[in-house]
Amino acid sequence: MAEGLEFYKMSGAGNDFILGDNRQGSWSAYPLGSLAKGLCLQHLSVGADGMILIEHSKKAHLKLRIFNADGSPSPMCGNGARCAARYALLKVIAGRQMTMEAGPDVLGAEILQGDLVRIDMPGRAERPFKADVILNGRSLPVFVTHTGVPHAVVFIKDRRALDALPVNSLGATLRRAPEFGSAGTNVDFVALSPAPPFSIRTFERGVEGETLACGTGATAAAWVLRHLGRAGDEIRLLTRSGKELVVQVLDRPSPAPQFTLTGEARLVFRATLSLEAIQEAMRCG
């Protein structure tokens, strides 16, 4: 196995990713789930919330293969897709406007000024629905929706209460609540005041912890806020990183994408994985 896998480390509003070009199959020389898990480990390797590879697509400019930090595949990642779009521009794989195959969907993407990227987000046209989850013997109202991956949105009264919330422990419990089935869900906690922008914290499945931002989570929260009449068609959300994400709700016939997501997709550094780094990642993964 040859040494020298080039990658870019990128951050989408605080969600960080390892990006690689797999159009020639060089990354596929390794078991990708194990490689992703090992490389995403903090301190022992590159460290990231996920790994995304660019591959050839028969129905779009490029195809995304997305892996969570635990090595599991994911059909969609909003911040990751925005990072992938800018990566494709920087690597001259695509122009400023492109289409990307992500899971079952083909999404449009546009590179705006600087590091801003806007992408189409998948989403079901059905309205979010309210569910009651039993937590410590008490009923907790949550709003369930799907924006490429499943999300449960929980409202908190204000930012101060949100800041004090034990997101990792509470999110871990809700993420595997029996009401969400065996696959579980991502969990978003949203402060209702003061707003806008609405403050949001997300516990991501696959990462199994809180991330500094979540694109599909911001989209889910925006959709629920609009559904409840607490926001209009353009919703600003303040992520844990302090960066804003902007969700636009579109009036399109299903099954076209129902939302766009805009935010930063910043290049952190370019590097090449050494053979020993790959071997250590495989051992740890």
Half-sphere exposure of 42 (CA within 13 A, CB side): 3
Residue 251 pLDDT class (50, 70, 90 cuts): confident
Average pLDDT over residues 109-115: 95
Respond yes or no: is residue 77 known to be catalytic: yes
Instruction: State the chain's mean pLDDT as an integer.
Output: 94
Are the folds of 5-121+266-284 and 129-256 the same? yes
Q: Return the sign of the alpha-carbon dihedral for residues 72, 184, 108, 104.
A: positive
Is 129-256 CATH 3.10.310.10? yes
Q: How far apart are CA 19 and CA 36, in angstroms?
A: 11
Lowest mean pLDDT among 147-161, 212-226, 252-266: 252-266
List the chain domain ranges.
5-121+266-284, 129-256
Q: What is the pLDDT of residue 265?
A: 98
Q: How far apart are CA 230 and CA 224, in angstroms?
A: 9
Q: What is the pLDDT of residue 122?
A: 85
The closest of 104, 5, 111 to 57, measured between CA atoms, is 104
Domain at 5-121+266-284, CATH homologous superfamily: Diaminopimelate Epimerase; Chain A, domain 1 (3.10.310.10)
Q: For the segment 116-126, what is each residue's pLDDT rounded down to a tens digit?
A: 999 999 877 67
**Is the model's pLDDT at 2 over the cut of 50?**
no
Q: For the segment 58-87, what is each residue's pLDDT rounded down to a tens digit?
A: 999 999 999 999 999 999 999 999 999 999
Q: What is the pLDDT of residue 123?
A: 76
Using CA atoms, how far residue 132 sits from 172, 191, 258, in Å, is 17, 19, 26
Q: For the segment 138-147, what is each residue's pLDDT rounded down to a tens digit?
A: 899 999 999 9
Give the active site residue among 40, 83, 214, 284.
Answer: 214
Residue 1 pLDDT class (50, 70, 90 cuts): very low
Sort strands 50-55 and 62-68 into parallel, antiparallel or unpaired.
antiparallel
Q: What is the pLDDT of residue 227?
A: 92
Q: What is the pLDDT of residue 3?
A: 63
**Is the model's pLDDT at 239 over the cut of 70?**
yes
Give the active site residue among 40, 77, 83, 284.
Answer: 77
Q: For the segment 155-202, what is each residue's pLDDT rounded down to a tens digit?
A: 999 999 999 999 999 999 999 999 899 999 999 999 998 889 999 999
Residues in contact with 193: Cβ distance below 8 Å, sequence separation at least 6, in sequence order: 157, 158, 159
Average pLDDT over residues 30-34: 96
Respond yes or no: is residue 284 known to be catalytic: no
**Is the model's pLDDT at 5 over the cut of 60?**
yes
